[in-house]
Amino acid sequence: MTYAGYQKILCMVKKVMEKQRTLVLIKPDGVQRGLVGEIISRFEKKGIKIVGMKMLSVSKDLAEKHYGVHRGKPFFKPTVEYITSSPVVAMVLEGYNVIDMVRNMMGKTNPEDAMVGTIRGDYAQFIGRNIVHGSDSLDTAEFEINLWFKPEELMDYKRIDEDWLME
């Protein structure tokens, strides 16, 4: 095997083994439509660990910080109004490559483009009512977890099925 080939495999292995945390929100429409259990259940069945969870009413300040990267865009104000309109469920999920895994399980931002089998593809129709949020990168995840959760609200524990999830 060439050195480059060895490096590539090392990177692949490293990616597979990267333990991450991500912020997931069940947005107001997900809560109002009775989809909290269904959404959490999908993550649980996949073997993803919940390390933090709470229900809260989102303040305008928190919403504007959370969607800060979108400030100035036409959908910024409606999106802040949407997330503050009714309680949300916020979760921190942990697992290997969990950031991309959750994004894949959520489906594309616009439910019209989201594949059947994804959360948005199965349960949503409009981009402004797309029922879930998931952090989109390591940096975003760190920022969003710190924004929504205090360190003491996050749990370190071992799930009993962990040994059976991994090779």
Q: Catalytic amino acids?
A: 133
In the window 132-151, what residues touch ligand IDP (CB under 6 A)?
133, 136
**Binder among 127, 153, 154, 159 for ligand IDP (CB under 6 A):** 127
**Helix ranges (DSSP H) in the chain:** 3-17, 28-32, 36-46, 60-66, 76-83, 98-106, 119-123, 138-148, 162-165
Check residue 79 for interaction with ligand IDP (CB under 6 A).
Answer: yes
Closest approach of ligand IDP to the CB of residue 132, in Å: 8
**How does strand 132-134 pair with strand 88-96?**
unpaired
Contact 131, 124 (CB under 8 A): yes
| From 109, 122, 143, 159, residue interacting with ligand IDP (rule: CB under 6 A) | 109
Between 68 and 165, CB nearer to ligand IDP:
68
Q: Which part of the chain contacts ligand IDP (CB under 6 A), choosing from 36-44, 57-65, 126-134, 148-156?
A: 126-134
Q: What is the DSSP string of 70-103?
A: GTTSTTHHHHHHHHTSS-EEEEEEEEETHHHHHH
Site residues (CB under 5 A) for Mg ion? 136
Site residues (CB under 6 A) for ligand IDP? 70, 75, 79, 109, 127-128, 130, 133, 136
